[in-house]
Amino acid sequence: MMTELLTEPFVRHILIAGVLAALGLAPWSVYVVLRRIVFSGAAVAEIASAAVALAVLFQLAPFPIALAMTVASFVALSRLSGSGRLPPETLVGMLYAGGSAASVLLIAKAPRGEADILNILFGNILTVPVEMLWTLAAVFAVLSLLQFFAAKEFLISAYDPDMGRALGIRVGAWNMLFYAALGVAVAVSIRAVGALLTFTMLVAPGAAALSLTQRLSRAFALATVLGVVSSVAGVALSYQYDLPTGSTIVAVLTALFVAALALGRLREAGA
């Protein structure tokens, strides 16, 4: 089956897009789970969808607007969630509700844009162009380097900001950089593979990895492996059984998460 996948140009592009999304998002999913900002991804995905609807309404290029709105939303969450005035889940919930409402209202005013909105909401991995594959590779390469060299600052800023300040780390600036980088990753991935697969890839690999190990170094590596395996398996299954590719990858990710959670519980019970 793998030989057929690699020899078919159409399927090969889908496979590359899925693997790139996994390599780019799975390591960030560990941070997302540990920082407890899982639903922020879903909320910002709605904002990105509303941005695309707005662009369609005014006949503008959707991707730059979605990118700007996604990054701005993540940065706003990082600033507002640290204010202490409201619980973070309140802000996330209102962002999700506002984004959803804006999407519906804008679609109502731009009925010809429904196909574009559906691509964003449910995924367009089947139609990802070669140019977008290069964009994915370039953006995720830069973000991976950032994550590697700023790992200490990202972790300390998230879990022990007082120590970070004592060490001279500008906690607020590093948190904003983290959210801005995450926003770029989400915006580019949504444009390539859709909101559903992006959100799942931003949660499931990290959650599964942290269910299996408590060592962060192993968790990052394991999350990446699980993300790549899920993408390849999902593309292969969708090709074999004529299933929607994005949803199949999501189903595989969900199954791996359930298996990892069960295995982790069994280990705890046997300890």
54 vs 62: CA distance, rounded Å: 8
Q: How is the chain split into domains, by residue range?
A: 2-264
Q: What is the pLDDT of residue 199?
A: 87
| N residues, the chain | 271
Q: pLDDT tens for residues 140-180?
A: 999 999 998 988 888 887 777 778 778 778 877 888 888 88
H or E element at residue 214? none
End-to-end CA distance of the chain: 40
Q: How confident is the model at residue 86 (pLDDT cuts 50, 70, 90)?
A: low
Q: Which residues contact 47 (CB under 8 A, 6 or more apart)?
A: 69, 70, 73, 95, 98, 99, 102
Tell me which CATH code domain 2-264 carries: 1.10.3470.10
Pick the closest to residue 73 from 53, 50, 54 (CA basis). Answer: 50
pTM: 0.84
pLDDT, tens digit, 9 for 90 and up, residues 93-144: 777 788 778 877 877 776 555 555 555 554 467 778 888 889 999 999 999 9
Nearest to 29 by CA among 147, 203, 183: 203
